[in-house]
Amino acid sequence: MTYRNIGAGIALVVGLACGGALATAQAPKQTPPDNTKVNTRDRAAKAQTADQQGNSKADVERTRQIRRAIVADKALSTYAHNVKVITRDGHVTLKGPVQTADEKAAVEAKATEVAGAGNVTNQISVKASSKKTGKDE
């Protein structure tokens, strides 16, 4: 083994160690999500949750059609694309936050188009605006 190989190996190890430390030091801090209110709401005895999705072929197909219609609409936000669609015995429940009231209406309309009028319960919430007012909080 030559000194050149040893020197190259040491340089590689030092470079990797410094690069890893630099990447770690530059990682932005992220505030942990707080879903306490939503989780409390979903603990209610009659609350529909994703684990209550029906497993019948008709329920799964209805959910799939609604999900495809929502995701196909590129005008909707990521929040709207991620709304929970829960179908049980032909009845659809929509849950989760969206950015605007227009998105809430659009998602409900897509579900109603597939499931039919009277078969959709809309429990979607409109996410509060997060615009800064310039004042200290």
The pLDDT value given to residue 9 = 62
For the chain, the 3-state helix, strand and coil shares in percent, each to the nearest 5, are 50, 15, 35
DSSP 56: S
Note whether residue 31 is domain-resident: no
H runs (alpha helix) in 26-81: 36-42, 57-72, 78-81
Report if residue 76 sits inside a domain: yes
Is there a domain that residue 34 lies in?
A: no
Residue 31 dihedral angles phi and psi, to the nearest 5°: -70, 130
31 vs 3, higher pLDDT: 31
Q: What is the pTM of this model?
A: 0.63
Q: Report the domain count for the chain.
A: 1
Q: Report the CATH number at residue 82.
A: 3.30.1340
Domain range for 63 is 50-126
Instruction: Answer yes or no: is 5 within a domain.
Output: no
Rounded Cα distance, 74 and 22, in Å: 37
Q: Is residue 8 part of a domain?
A: no
The answer to whether position 135 is within a domain reads no
Cα–Cα nearest to 124, from 87, 60, 80, 74? 80
- The whole-number pLDDT of residue 53 equals 74
Q: Taking a C-beta distance cutoff of 8 angstroms, is the pair 112, 120 a contact?
A: yes
pLDDT tens digits for range 42-99: 666 566 666 677 789 999 999 999 999 999 999 999 999 999 999 999 999 999 999 9
Task: Give me the pLDDT at residue 132, please.
Answer: 46
Residues 103/108/110/116 CA torsion (nearest 10 deg)? -170
